[in-house]
Amino acid sequence: MAARFIDRDKLISILTPIILLGLWELGARAGLVDTRFFSSPALIARRFMVLSASGEIWLNIGVSLRRLGIGFLVGGVPAIVLGIAMGLSRSVRAAIDPLIAATYPLPKSAIFPLILLIFGLGESSKIVMVALGVFYPLIINTMAGVLQIDRIYLDVGKNFGATRGQMFYTVALPGALPSIFAGIKLGVGMGLVLIAISEMIGADSGLGYMIWNAWQTLSVETMYVGLVVIAIIGYVLSLFLDEVEKWLLPWMRER
């Protein structure tokens, strides 16, 4: 019974977007949808083929993913290390928490001019933007993850003579990992938003640049190709992270 419901749910979730795309295409052909603004699925697909054949789209995807990846590491690694330190030590928490609380609400896009000023127009300003986007959700989730570890596990570590380092690797890190993963997912989403924004200003490659350039040349189809590609990247990354999570956290109850 349950399996049949799951199959039915899957079918519905695949059918809905297909039907909507079909309606869009029909609407465009019937002249009900203004193709100057909304284009049509067929036109967008054709443009994708062209951009793919010229290699332009792949180049931009590669550039954006590279910035996203490097930014993720630059922001993520310190976020996890600091987050765990904040979770384990009251004084580290007291020192860093107010800084996080005060800077977190600043819209990252509003800091971009400052980042440009400091890091220039090159790669580093985009990487820093992604890093900032990843850093905040990840440090907050990591700290919360360590804080919610049941005290008894820390007692066990202490009773069995764990050193500081051993406490980190055997208790704090694995105990906080589910929460860290939730932070990574949020951070990747935020990173995608920020890479698109920062590539629109002061960049000559990347998906954000492609979309912005398409707007300036009124090439609506290219704009849509960029949006669709970003959506697909986001979706594939989240599927990928789900798989990594299952592999890294086999001890979590089935959800």
Partner 1 sequence: MMVIEKPAVSVTAAPPKIRIANLARRFGTLTAIENFSLDVESGSFVMIVGPSGCGKTTLLRILANLDSPTEGTVQVQRSDPSKPSNAMVFQGDSIFPWMTVWDNAAYGLKLRGEDKARIKDVVGFYLDRTGLTRFADRFPFQLSGGMRQRVSIARAFATDPEVLLMDEPFSALDEQHKTMLQQELLRIWDETRKTVLFITHSVDEAVALGDKILVMTAGPGRIKAIIDVPFPRPRNVIELRGQPEYGELVFRIWGYLREEVERAAAMEMK
Residue 151, C-beta contacts closer than 8 angstroms, at least 6 positions apart: none
For the four alpha carbons of 60, 66, 68 and 74, in that order, the dihedral sign comes to negative
Please count the CA atoms within 13 angstroms of the CA of 240 that sit on its side-chain side.
Answer: 8
Name the residue nearer to partner 1 (CB basis): 134 or 177. 177
For the CB of residue 12, give the shortest distance to partner 1 in the complex, in Å.
32
For the CB of residue 90, give the shortest distance to partner 1 in the complex, in Å.
17
Distance between CA 150 and CA 157 in Å, rounded?
12
Name the residue nearer to partner 1 (CB basis): 5 or 160. 160
Q: What is the 3-state secondary structure (H, E, C) of 209-248?
A: HHHHHHHHCCCHHHHHHHHHHHHHHHHHHHHHHHHHHHHH
Q: Which two tokens stand for residue 81?
A: 């290390």
For the CB of residue 76, give the shortest distance to partner 1 in the complex, in Å.
20
**Binding residues for partner 1, per CB under 8 A?**
152-153, 155-156, 158-163, 166, 170-171, 174-175, 177, 249-253
Angle at the Cα of 101 from the Cα atoms of 99 and 106, rounded to 5 degrees: 95
Name the residue nearer to partner 1 (CB basis): 57 or 172. 172
Name the residue nearer to partner 1 (CB basis): 156 or 231. 156
For the CB of residue 155, give the shortest distance to partner 1 in the complex, in Å.
5
Q: 146, 180 in Cβ contact below 8 A?
A: no
Name the residue nearer to partner 1 (CB basis): 121 or 249. 249
For the CB of residue 81, give the shortest distance to partner 1 in the complex, in Å.
19
Name the residue nearer to partner 1 (CB basis): 90 or 253. 253
Q: Which two tokens stand for residue 104?
A: 């977190």
For the CB of residue 161, give the shortest distance to partner 1 in the complex, in Å.
6
Q: Which two tokens stand for residue 172?
A: 């704090």
Name the residue nearer to partner 1 (CB basis): 204 or 254. 254
For the CB of residue 167, give the shortest distance to partner 1 in the complex, in Å.
10
Q: 41, 25 in Cβ contact below 8 A?
A: yes
Q: For residue 71, what are the CA distances in angstroms to 44, 135, 180, 194?
A: 30, 9, 17, 10
